[in-house]
Structure 1
Amino acid sequence: MGELPDGPGSAPVYVPGGEVGKEQVARLAEALGVEGAPVAEGRAWRVGGKDGSGPVLRVNRDAPGDWTFSRYAPGTDDCRKVTVCAHDPAAPAADPVSVAAAEKAAAPVLKALGQDDAKIDASQVMGAQRVVDADPVVGGLPTYGLTTGLTVDAKGGLAGGHGQLTAPVKGDTYPVLGAARTLELMNKGPKSTHRMGIGGCASPVPLKDRDEQPCGGSTSVPKAAADEVKVEKAVFGLAARSSGGRQVLVPAWLFEVRGSTARGAFTVAYPAVDPKYLVGQSPAIDPGALTSPGGSAASEPSARTRSVKADGYSADGRQLSVSFTGGVCARYRAAAKESAGRVTVTVTERSRPGEMCIAMGKLYAKTVRLDAPLDGREVVGSDGRRLPQVKQAELRPRTAR
């Protein structure tokens, strides 16, 4: 490509906004078609999903208001019966809706989120469902790693979704580098930065012509010209990173690159903040803690563990299997506190600072060993609410990291 752009010279970091209010949750629920008023459950809001059935929206009350939506209860697949099942055998295989139809279904939700001007990609298809990904615009800049995802079923209805409800707010302003200098630092730095896609990482330009691989692995710069990729475009924007245990949007250059194969173009993001304001790990992986423009360490909360709401349980002797919905890039732990009349289940989530991750919900099941068989005792969540008992098969346990 020709000359790379210089950029603005300085730009602010954006940090999580305030606590999520009831009105915001109600507005999102209406756009998603979830009936009912928001109910506070610990540090979260819930709309619908009473007794573990029907459409449900869950929103974290703490900024940035991570939310997940499911049209169907965990363990079901829009069957004619309440119990878990596959698609009805008599039903013919359905085709996904068109891109235009999927975007139309997603539009009211994006409007409720204030993301009318988001960059939309509805090209991904999963069976009979089409996925609409929206990358919001913040402060007039495109973003990377802050995707709102909505799944549209074969009938044109919303089947699921995830995202963040509160808009980030402007923080300190930092000197930033031009695209050419940023590209130079990326090529000289540790060979591990994140590319667009679900999971995995990609090396900086030049890139080895390969599929995504786990983060942290050795990725030597290829020697052959055929293994290099070409930067076709550089856009100044904001990239999601972890700083002090919370997600921030850091000024970054978004490089659109293309390899020597027909796999198409993809995006590589690299922080544009002057390196002297980055401390801790390499900015290719994590900006670490940002120092303030005045030179002192910016005030950031330490990494913390948060509570996750359990959806249900099944019991087998002294083993209790607990189901819950979580993200794909966090560690989860389930524990139980026993008394004569009840068992209180807690599920905790610990984030992994520095790891870029798609905001995507996943059903987990964790097994807890009890001191004695359940024997009719009530099982409740950390908020004291009774958990519904489900069949073991309905938990569909998956390994939680």
Structure 2
Amino acid sequence: MSGTENVRRRRSVIAASVAAGVLLAGGGGVYLATTASGDGTGAGAAAKAADAAGPPTPLRLEGGSGDATGGGDTRGGPGIAPGEPDPGGGPNGTVYTAKGPLPQGPSSAAVHRPEGLVTSAEVTRLAEALGISGSPSLVGEVWTIRPEKDGSGARLDVARKAPGNWTYSWYDGGPAGDACLKGRACPPPGESKPAPGGTPLSEAAAKAAAAPVLKALGQDDAKVTATGVVNGSVRVVNADPVVGGLPTYGWSTGLHIARDGRAVAGSGTLKEPAEGAVYPVIGASKALAALNEDAKGTGPIGVGHCPTAPPAVDGNGRPEDARTGGTPAPGHVEPTPPCQTIVDRAAPDQVPVTAAVFGLAARDVDGERLLVPSWLFTADPADGAPYTVVRTAVAPEYLVPPSKPSPEPTPPPGDGTQTARVVESVRVQGDGRELAVTFWGGVCSTYTVKADEQPDRVTVRIVEKTDPDRVCIMIAKDFTKTVTLKSPLGDRPVVDAASGEAVPRR
């Protein structure tokens, strides 16, 4: 049987019962498995369509062929959320060890990709759930509902193109200081800014307050957490939706719930991704082995070589043979012991894996954000809180090997220009022509903001310039830089040149 025929056969034979995940119960090593039965729809229908179309196109994952991702996913590819551990550990790496048998999972699964356009009715449904009145208007490629008159109140922006990235916030339209830029929700008109502190809603109450919004998004079956608190009194609700019957990672909805149960900020996606091509997938054991291969250490860093011991001398300062104590023979060279630093001798970090769930993780594929079949492992280190580590489950033969980076030409002296940073938020100041743009950057770089004005939008770009001869520590901080427009911003949306998405106003 040829390789192509074998792949088709594996894709067409979908297991009637799919082991979606396992959880370690108690300390007895018993695993509980959840299953999803096939009924000829969903993955089965997609498999038949894939059979008719032939083998699926190999995926070119940005950032590697299947590398691990720990913590939250960030825009622009796999990464590590602030405060989350590096899944690769330190210089000596990490070894993830399953505390019990791991599931095989399904034999194949579909990627899911954004398709279509967001409609006015879909935006209106979300707005009503958030308590926003008014009808959405299309400004360029962004649906928007914004305050009238003095610009105070609630604002909702939704990208028209799927998956319909949306942002929602309250703002007062005037100078609000650094507090609003750094995440505090600005109050609606007529209300004073909430004082710092206070007791936030309970987790249960915050989840209940978020439920109508999640239902409007079609995410009422999402996995919901509400452990975070910002500003001392605003409860953060995060929801990871279920897509195609599978849990997701990196595709979450976030809502900030005030003490009165009102949503004061939020973001997410409005349109559920559609099922795409079906790929053969590997089981959790193989995925964990690949994860450990990815998590190997980089070796000692910051040490050029071991210190060399001074040559042995006798009491008169003449060279001495360390073996005999006498004068060394002509041409004799003392043997050098192998160089081992403390880092070399340290063992890799050992981290138990207490759960393995088959799901979908957000990955950048050829410049497009997709949900890719993946294994979601729960790592539970002895000295820290549990965290999720993700490994792509698509069979290796259907992943394009990462290409070796081509040598880049040496920039001319003084040319330290970098690619643009992603814009976090923007605030309109003064007469409406001045934009205060907030973003994260490095402490050793200098930044300028450029604005490209069009009749239907204003595109902002952050230009970073570094000194290529300067040694700098890798520390990030938030910056706010201003740029002056030729005419007042008015109703035009602000678009980030780096991501192509609408920038939330603060």
Structure-1-length-normalised TM-score:
0.66
Deviations 1:36-80 (A, max 9, x none): 000111110111333532011110111110001113346366569
Which of the residues 145, 161, 179 maps onto 2:266? 161
Greater Cα offset, 131-140 or 270-279: 270-279
Which protein shows a greater Rg? 2
For 1:161 and 1:312, the matched residues in 2 are separated by 20
Pairs within 5 Å for 1:281-300: 281=402
Rate the CA distance shift 1:107–1:140 in 2: closer, same or farther, 3 A.
Answer: same
The one-letter amino acid paired with 2:369 is Q
For 1:247 and 1:43, the matched residues in 2 are separated by 18
In the alignment, what sits opposite 1:224?
A: 347
The one-letter amino acid paired with 1:67 is W
- Once the 2 structures are TM-superposed, how far is the Cα of residue 236 of structure 1 from its aligned partner? 0.4
For 1:346 and 1:380, the matched residues in 2 are separated by 11
Which of the residues 385, 393, 402 maps onto 1:272? 393
Rate the CA distance shift 1:111–1:221 in 2: closer, same or farther, 3 A.
Answer: farther
Rate the CA distance shift 1:224–1:5 in 2: closer, same or farther, 3 A.
Answer: same
* Contact map agreement 1:137 1:143 (CA 8 A) in 2: yes
* Contact map agreement 1:309 1:347 (CA 8 A) in 2: no
Rate the CA distance shift 1:30–1:7 in 2: closer, same or farther, 3 A.
Answer: same
Pairs within 5 Å for 1:26-41: 26-41=124-139
Greater Cα offset, 73-82 or 146-155: 73-82
In the alignment, what sits opposite 1:133?
A: 238
Q: Does 1:55 align with 2:148?
A: no
- Once the 2 structures are TM-superposed, how far is the Cα of residue 382 of structure 1 from its aligned partner? 9.1
* Contact map agreement 1:59 1:65 (CA 8 A) in 2: yes
In the alignment, what sits opposite 1:123?
A: 227
For 1:378 and 1:238, the matched residues in 2 are separated by 45
Rate the CA distance shift 1:250–1:337 in 2: closer, same or farther, 3 A.
Answer: closer
Q: Does 1:97 align with 2:206?
A: no
* Contact map agreement 2:172 2:187 (CA 8 A) in 1: no
Q: Does 1:114 align with 2:218?
A: yes
Rate the CA distance shift 1:384–1:81 in 2: closer, same or farther, 3 A.
Answer: closer
Q: Does 1:11 align with 2:134?
A: no
Rate the CA distance shift 1:238–1:369 in 2: closer, same or farther, 3 A.
Answer: same
For 1:327 and 1:28, the matched residues in 2 are separated by 29
Instruction: Give 5+ residue unaligned stretches, structure 2.
Output: 1-98, 299-342, 404-420, 442-446, 464-477, 495-503
In the alignment, what sits opposite 2:368?
A: 246
For 1:69 and 1:109, the matched residues in 2 are separated by 12
In the alignment, what sits opposite 2:451?
A: 335
In the alignment, what sits opposite 1:208?
A: none
CA RMSD of aligned residues (A): 4.1
* Contact map agreement 1:60 1:66 (CA 8 A) in 2: yes
In the alignment, what sits opposite 1:380?
A: 489
For 2:484 and 2:120, the matched residues in 1 are separated by 37
Rate the CA distance shift 1:80–1:6 in 2: closer, same or farther, 3 A.
Answer: closer
Rate the CA distance shift 1:163–1:384 in 2: closer, same or farther, 3 A.
Answer: closer
Which of the residues 367, 371, 382 maps onto 1:260? 382
Rate the CA distance shift 1:140–1:102 in 2: closer, same or farther, 3 A.
Answer: same
Rate the CA distance shift 1:325–1:102 in 2: closer, same or farther, 3 A.
Answer: farther
> Using CA pairs below 8 Å that are at least 6 residues apart, which structure has the higher relative contact order?
2
The one-letter amino acid paired with 1:276 is E
For this pair of structures, how many residues does the alignment match? 308
Structure-2-length-normalised TM-score:
0.53
Q: Does 1:142 align with 2:142?
A: no
Q: Does 1:346 align with 2:459?
A: yes
For 1:221 and 1:39, the matched residues in 2 are separated by 61
- Once the 2 structures are TM-superposed, how far is the Cα of residue 33 of structure 1 from its aligned partner? 0.3
* Contact map agreement 1:321 1:368 (CA 8 A) in 2: yes
For 1:47 and 1:29, the matched residues in 2 are separated by 8
Which of the residues 356, 368, 382 maps onto 2:483? 368
What SS does the aligned partner of 1:237 have? strand
In the alignment, what sits opposite 1:298?
A: none
Which of the residues 157, 160, 163 maps onto 1:64? 163
The one-letter amino acid paired with 1:142 is P
For 2:219 and 2:277, the matched residues in 1 are separated by 24
- Once the 2 structures are TM-superposed, how far is the Cα of residue 244 of structure 1 from its aligned partner? 1.5
For 1:167 and 1:222, the matched residues in 2 are separated by 49
For 1:80 and 1:20, the matched residues in 2 are separated by 27
In the alignment, what sits opposite 1:236?
A: 358
What SS does the aligned partner of 2:282 have? coil
* Contact map agreement 1:13 1:249 (CA 8 A) in 2: yes
For 2:205 and 2:379, the matched residues in 1 are separated by 30
- Once the 2 structures are TM-superposed, how far is the Cα of residue 315 of structure 1 from its aligned partner? 7.4
The one-letter amino acid paired with 2:450 is A
Deviations 1:199-245 (A, max 9, x none): xxxx9xxxxxxxxxxxxxxxx999537x3100111110000001121
